[in-house]
Chain A
């Protein structure tokens, strides 16, 4: 119960925050951060829990974005398009996963680069969504930023909830077994292929919904933006920075990324990727646990100090 308190408190603060006089720019940054957190948490279900690093999550993000975009333009209610975006992304994840999960580790990772680049090329040439020049969403209701804010918050909360449920379930235990030792997992009756496909589908569904929520806010999407390699890179970097294979790591990573991204991209478009590159290298070399790992290390250090300075009275 005590452990659940800080996250719930955070959620409460975020829920009432817009009531105070936040500028539209801060609301925008927070909204984008929520979307980032949702994708980050989604990626972690496959990349963290199951240990299958994918460079291809832009495929699901983009498909979700385009599904929502087309849906809204056809007159479907935006909220009905989000589950649809999830479903499309999940189906796509099966199509991607069926062949590529026959590969392991780095081979899988490289294959996903191929899949995402191929998808981008196809979407760039697809006439019906406007090809490379992008796709505009026209909604016949006034733009209300606060509505987007709460949609984003709900999405991020949903993602975290799913992540916690997966983590605590038998299914999540199976994923962890696969991550640690695929052969041993298979020996005790965990079907690695099916489990990975499941994790991939859940992760893709969350990412697809995030793409949809983003698309409605942006009102304009193009293949380079939602399917581009930098998008995949971003989705992968957030959990790695925050700390893979944890619940809160991807949330922290997504938060850091969302806020920094908005501030840095505008001013130094190249510097932020450079920064992320350096960060990833430092993390792999010195603290594979990411921000979470650092915090744990600091806590251990503090504890050791306390023990060392303890004097019997």
Chain B
């Protein structure tokens, strides 16, 4: 492998990591605050993809504008879902199987509504950027990848700002740490949980729109990405936002560079294998692993 090949792969991995982070962060906030493993994440990724697709095809709206529009729309969808499933999604300390199955049922519903509305055909969002590349000597960067990466980074930066500088964001972080203390200091737990659920779904929808710019999609679009999201948040230690970036980077690097070793037909198995390994070897995520090593040293 030449240096140029290496750099090309590295850039591809970095661009992918940014998108992955935007995709997984929605799952992290919901897990962190409510301890719900949101299997319906896959369904909302898919819905986000079709949302952007429809706006682009029918109304001729620029896909990136559509992604921005996806945020408020899916935010409200998320709040409505949380309201409707109220008794099924309590704020709890440990993840329950009931909420897992509930979210799984929601995923089935979303997926098959998708099939009913859009059929089984693969769709793709094609823009003039889709096949364009930027060249720096021998290094080529796909333009669309760069744009998607930039949008993901901007949305994550906005999220960081909300989490650290607003009352709502601070209460989310407080809820992740300890929800009993939250009640004492006057944080409305249920209301924050609902807003957080909305936030998580908003990110799922928007990330689905971004992914749709990179890959063709069908109503089964979310499944591989659901598992990838889960790999990422497990690697990142489930509740930590900085962990999401670490996890995305690891997954993207492994997926990209494994092309060199693993035959391409076995590629889909990589993230799943990584998931099982991560769950078993790194139960506290990478951060937990580092902390443990530090304690031992």
Contact = CB atoms under 8 A, between A and B. Distances in A.
Interface stretch (A61-69, A97-105, A145-153): A97-105
B37 A106 contact: yes
A277 B105 contact: yes
Contacts of A278: 105, 109
A288 interface: yes
A284 B88 contact: yes
B272 A280 contact: no
Given A109-B100, A271-B116, A277 B106 contact: yes
Nearest to B230: A110
A57 to B, nearest CB: 14
Contacts of A280: 101-102, 104-105, 108
A199 interface: no
Given A105-B95, A273-B108, A53 B280 contact: no
Contacts of B107: 277
A114 B105 CA distance: 19
Contacts of A265: none
A276 interface: yes
Interface string B269-286: 101110110011001000
B77 to A, nearest CB: 16
B180 interface: no
Which range holds the interface residue count of chain A? Answer: 35 or more
Nearest to B268: A121
Contacts, number: 116
A107 interface: yes
A229 B273 contact: no
B97 A121 contact: no
Nearest to B116: A270
A121 B266 contact: yes
B109 A274 contact: yes
Nearest to A109: B100
Nearest to B263: A125
B265 A125 contact: yes
Interface string B35-48: 00100000000000
Contact of A106 (B87, B97, B109, B113): B97
B143 interface: no
22 contacts: A99-B280, A100-B279, A105-B95, A109-B100, A110-B37, A110-B275, A114-B273, A115-B276, A117-B268, A118-B273, A121-B266, A270-B112, A273-B108, A273-B112, A277-B105, A278-B105, A278-B109, A281-B102, A281-B109, A284-B88, A284-B102, A285-B87
Given A121-B265, A281-B109, 12 more contacts: A53-B101, A105-B100, A106-B37, A114-B271, A117-B227, A125-B266, A270-B112, A270-B115, A270-B116, A274-B113, A281-B85, A285-B88
Interface of A: 51, 53, 99-100, 102-103, 105-107, 109-111, 113-115, 117-118, 121-122, 124-125, 229, 233, 240, 270-271, 273-274, 276-281, 284-285, 288
Interface of B: 37, 85, 87-88, 94-98, 100-102, 104-113, 115-116, 223, 227, 230, 263, 265-266, 268-269, 271-273, 275-276, 279-280, 283
